[in-house]
Structure 1
Amino acid sequence: MLLTQTEVERLLDAAAYIDLIERAFARTDNLPSRLAHLDSPPGEFHIKASGHGGVVGVKIGACFYDRPRTLGLPSIVGVIALFDGENGQPLLFLESATVTRLRTAAATAVAVRHLALEGAATLAVIGTGAQAASHIAAIREVRPIGEVLVWSRDPDKTRSFAKNHDVRPAATVADATKNANIVVTLTPSTTPYLGLDAVRPGALVAAVGSDAPDKRELHDDLLAGSALVTDVTHQCAEVGELHHRPDTPVRAELGDVIRGVKPGRLSPDEIIVFDSTGTAIQDVAAAEALYQSALRAGVGRTLPLWD
């Protein structure tokens, strides 16, 4: 089956993604996640694979930040292939950037559901790229967000995003984060910019931008002064914030918190960092749900690989 970007957008809503990603993190039959990183100057490729429940998925994602300027196209592009894990038969082929955007926001929302203060109502979003709007929508599904502040390096883009999404622009990172209960960092930065002094007690910081060895958003003092929860610890040690401070104690993986086998938040005043590198099991869970939804809705078309 082949699904188009438009079909992917329409088949599942934000709440459905949150629930399916939460179930995926909680499962104990997930296959080990495999990750490969390939530099291809001026860009890079990420290859992720995993499986559960009888299906296996592989995602190849390309990230070339000059694509908007040179091609007039988004900086991230890729594909996901879903297979029957028992006989190897290909089941689904689809564009990956839309899935990545929606499942990443859902994973952050799952972390918010389990790690943020119950009454958290102020959200700071650092970065105004493709992930920003999806994160705002997803987090609003799990917490009573009354105020959203945004910041990016480009003041014009910050103001435009704020106007288009009815949120408040901030002049600096600290102006956005210092009073927020939830902070989400969504930048490709290679230099840390968020420190402990800009984060209030009790906040949850979801560090989403670090997904390659050279990317980093958080200063050492923030990691040292926080409880660290990872999506997958070994992957965070390779490409996440943990990669840059490997001696940081890890309290739990998010799946352990969801299953109740390890603690999440221990007090209302502690700061928690969620190191989110994006896992293959999230792609597999989303692709499987899209496949089943497409079968029920009668959408998609056959891709004639064998004629």
Structure 2
Amino acid sequence: MYPRIDFLYLSEPAMIHAGVLNAAACVSVCEETFGLLGKGDYLMGGPNHNHHGISITFPPHSAFPNMPMSGPDRRFAAMPGYLGGRFDVCGNKWYGSNHANAKEGLPRSILTMMLNDKQTGAPLALMSANLLSAARTGAVAGVGAKHLANRDARVISVVGCGPINKACLTALMTQLPSVKKIVCFDIILQRAENFARWAEKKYDVSVVGVSDAEPCFRDGDVITVAASRAKPLYFKDEWIKEGATILVSGPFNTDDSFLTNCKIVFDHTPMHRAYLEEGIASGDKEAYYSGEMGGPFYRLLDAGKLPALEEATGLGDVVNCIKPGRLNFEERIIFISCGMSVFDIAWGFDVYKTAAANGIGTLLNLWHEPSGF
């Protein structure tokens, strides 16, 4: 009871105990979130309520000796949001990212998530969010597969063998019961083979690791792309077979002919309009687009080679049966997912509720009563 404020702290082991890695449940929650997005029952940052977040990036040179210098994937970012429906809660994902973290034995990004009461701003939970973020990223791809992939898809191609694609593959396997083969590509063959061994132990299917991108793309009925920001992947139109579904969770480049001759489904079109506005405001759209996952689409939108975003399809439209998903077996579909705080909020909320109901985590006190009032 107020004015006392307590909140729940959930470490990574506590998050695991509370079910953060339950891929099927996470897919269901993310599908529910897409439904709310399609209805407009959400808010994110910026004056248009659709900004992905706000980032601190570092300069190549500085007169201040303690200021960090720019480097591959080096930034801090805050991703605030509100999600309605049964969630009815505010939250913010905060992370620091640095490609050089691997030298310290750390993941590239270190993330935390805070949930807050929508009325008072009081903290409800502070949680470790690396697994949370990976799980919801994978689950978003899982929702994409559920609504866009051919139901008899037999081959999943994994492009980029890092932790994000582990989460993506885990979610996809809850939605694609006909899969018989997994092809794992990474430019470092050892990583691809390690990923393949992990998948082979987890699933009763044929798995192979490769370091050549072309056969991986050509083989895939469903292709999950989560390559490194430091090494954006290029694939060719001719590599993508009839009926394939590409689920994009990381940066990429491809032939313009592919993007103008396939069905494009965005995670949420209003957010991509915000990206276009930010590109204009940056004063250097080309440089801005080069750093964004949606860059290949934005260039074509600017050039008038793709229909305007007002006419485009968001996955929330498909989930809410406002627009169709896959129309036939032959369609080639690409789904672009740039990440949205509302998915972290949704899955974080459910994990928090499970933890609170089962005595998981550590209760921390903010104050017994606020000073100076």
TM-score class, shorter-chain normalisation, is over 0.9
Q: Does 1:86 align with 2:119?
A: yes
Residue 151 of structure 2 is matched in structure 1 by: 118
- Indicate the residue corresponding to 2:42 in structure 1: 30
1:181 is aligned to 2:221: yes
TM-score by length of 1: 0.92
The one-letter code matched in structure 2 to 1:6 is P
* Worse overlay, 198-207 or 234-243: 234-243
Q: CA deviation at 1:306?
A: 3.0
Q: 1:117 to 1:290 in 2, by over 3 A?
A: same
The equivalences for 1:104-115 within 5 A come to 104-115=137-148
Distance 2:77 2:150 in 1: 33
31-40 or 250-259: which moved more?
A: 31-40
Tell me how far 1:206 sits from its aligned partner: 0.7
Larger RCO: 1 or 2 (CA < 8 Å, sep 6+): 2
Q: Structure 1 residues 271 and 136 mapped into 2: Cα distance closer, same or farther (>3 Å)?
A: same
* Correspondence for 2:169 among 119, 136, 144: 136
2:234 matched to which residue of 1? 193
Q: CA deviation at 1:152?
A: 0.6
Given candidates 124, 127, 134, the residue that maps to 1:101 is 134
Q: Kindly indicate whether residue 74 of structure 2 is the aligned counterpart of residue 51 of structure 1.
A: no
1:301 aligns with 2:332: no
Q: Deviations over 1:133-180 (max 9, x none)?
A: 222111010012211101111112112221232221124111111121
Tell me the equivalent position of 1:245: 300
Q: 1:254 aligns with which of 312, 315, 319?
A: 315
What CA deviation, in whole Å up to 9, does each residue of 1:85-131 have, x standing for no partner? 12211101112211110000000000000000011121001011111
Structure 1: give runs of 5+ residues left out of the alignment: 211-215
The SS at the match of 2:235 is coil
- Who is 1:202 aligned against? 243
Radius of gyration: which is bigger?
A: 2
Which secondary structure does the structure 2 equivalent of 1:143 belong to? coil
Alignment of 1:146-295 (within 5 A): 146-166=180-200, 167-189=207-229, 191-210=232-251, 216-236=252-272, 238=275, 239-241=292-294, 242-246=297-301, 247=304, 248-249=306-307, 251-295=312-356
What TM-score, normalized by structure 2, do the two folds share? 0.77
Question: Per-residue deviation at 1:192?
Answer: 4.4
Q: CA contact under 8 A between 1:207 and 1:217: conserved in structure 2?
A: no
- Please tell me the root mean square deviation across aligned C-alpha atoms, in Å: 1.7
Q: Residue 213 of structure 1 aligns with which residue?
A: none
- Aligned counterpart, 1:18: 27
What is the deviation of 1:9?
Answer: 2.0
Q: Secondary structure at the match of 1:103?
A: helix
Q: Which runs of 5+ in 2 are unaligned?
A: 1-7, 44-48, 59-69, 201-206, 276-291, 369-373
Is this contact kept in 1: 2:318–2:324, CA < 8 A? yes
Question: How much does 1:245 deviate?
Answer: 3.1
Distance 1:33 1:303 in 2: 32
